[in-house]
Copies of this chain bind each other. A is one copy, B any other.
Amino acid sequence: MQKATLTILGCGSALPTRKNFPSAQILEIRDKQFLIDCGEGTQIRMRQMGVKANRLGHIFISHLHGDHCFGLIGLISSFGMLNRTAELHIHAQADLEKLMETQLQYFCADLPFKVIFHPINPRKHELIFEDRSVQVFSIPLKHRVPSCGFLFEEKPRDRHIIREMIDFYNIPTWRILKIKQGEDFETDEGEIISNEQLTVAGDLPKRFAYCSDTAFSEKIIPIIEGVDCLYHEATFMETEKRRAKETYHSTARQAAEIALKANVKKLIIGHYSARYIHQNELLEEAKTVFENTVLGEDLTVYDM
């Protein structure tokens, strides 16, 4: 089975701490890498993790606060020095292209690859990216500035062949790909062997949702319903609930309530305020509501 992993590069909030860089994470799925948010130091964290970015083609930026995008210029600049030639696609609110224009021209004039901006509308839930095996949808969030999360959905995976049946009907190798994709098989005698006889269902497609930055918002529940893994911001604890509301952030408990109501399989929390030295407090708070909560930590890989 192809693995799906989430590598957290940074899960701090606006002010970095000794432990946490600002937001950035890499979702690796179907042999592709997607970078979600790109706070200052993202390229440094990638180096520290030994992440080879040769399969990174698409970057998704949730919103235009510095702790979610200040790392882009350094990343792009370094990709240039490393002689990357593949196009780099940035999915973000339209303003970002204008904001980066001058610097890209000045610092990255001789870039050996193209940077292509794809504007997204953070107020709409819609398909914003699709390829052969993955779809990405925007998730409108509730923040001080327009902000959206991202839902990554694998397309259905191939069915597994039943080796004995393939041998029994003497099916040639060149037919197997199609059979994995659901075709029946016709023998030389004209007998139709149904796909169900030859295969079993493939692994279930994975679904991952990233929701940061956002206040508690039940509107996202139908969109993220049942995902394998939800990363939801938990900037504060309940003791700072008022501050969470004022700043349009969530508490750990609220993140867990969303996870519970959306019936997700696993919750990873992050985007912690710098005030929390002992982040386990945030984890404990979330766990009282949703048991399968995991503490997001920088430089950590999570299986999906």
Residues of A within 8 A of B (CB): 14-18, 21, 40-41, 43-44, 47-48, 64-66, 70-71, 73-74, 77-78, 81-82, 95, 98-99, 101-103, 106-107
Q: Find out whether the CB atom of A15 lies under 8 angstroms from the CB atom of B73.
A: no
Tell me the complex Cα distance, A15–B43, Å: 9
Interface of chain A: mostly helix, strand, loop or mixed = helix
> Are B40 and A21 in contact, with the CB atoms below 8 A?
no
In the bound complex, residues from chain B placing their C-beta under 8 Å from that of A102 are: 98-99, 101-102
With beta carbons under 8 angstroms apart, the residue of B15, B18, B81 that contacts A48 is B18
Q: In the complex, which of the residues A44, A66, A82, A107 has the most CB atoms of chain B within 10 Å of its own CB atom? A: A44
Q: Which residues of B contact A78 (CB under 8 A)?
A: 14-16
Taken together as a complex, chains A and B put the C-alpha atoms of A99 and B109 apart, in Å, by 14
Q: Distance in Å from the Cβ of A8 to the closest Cβ of chain B?
A: 16
Identity of the chain B residue whose Cβ is nearest the Cβ of A10 in the assembled complex: B44
- Do A66 and B70 form a contact, CB below 8 Å, given A16-B43, A18-B47, A43-B40? no
Who on chain B is nearest to A41 by CB?
Answer: B41
Q: Is the CB of A14 within 8 A of B81?
A: yes
Q: A16-B47, A40-B41, A99-B102 known; 19 other A-B pairs, CB under 8 Å?
A: A14-B77, A14-B81, A16-B43, A16-B44, A16-B78, A18-B47, A21-B44, A40-B43, A40-B44, A64-B106, A64-B107, A66-B73, A66-B74, A70-B73, A70-B74, A98-B102, A99-B103, A99-B106, A102-B102
| Complex: A17 Cα to B77 Cα, angstroms | 15
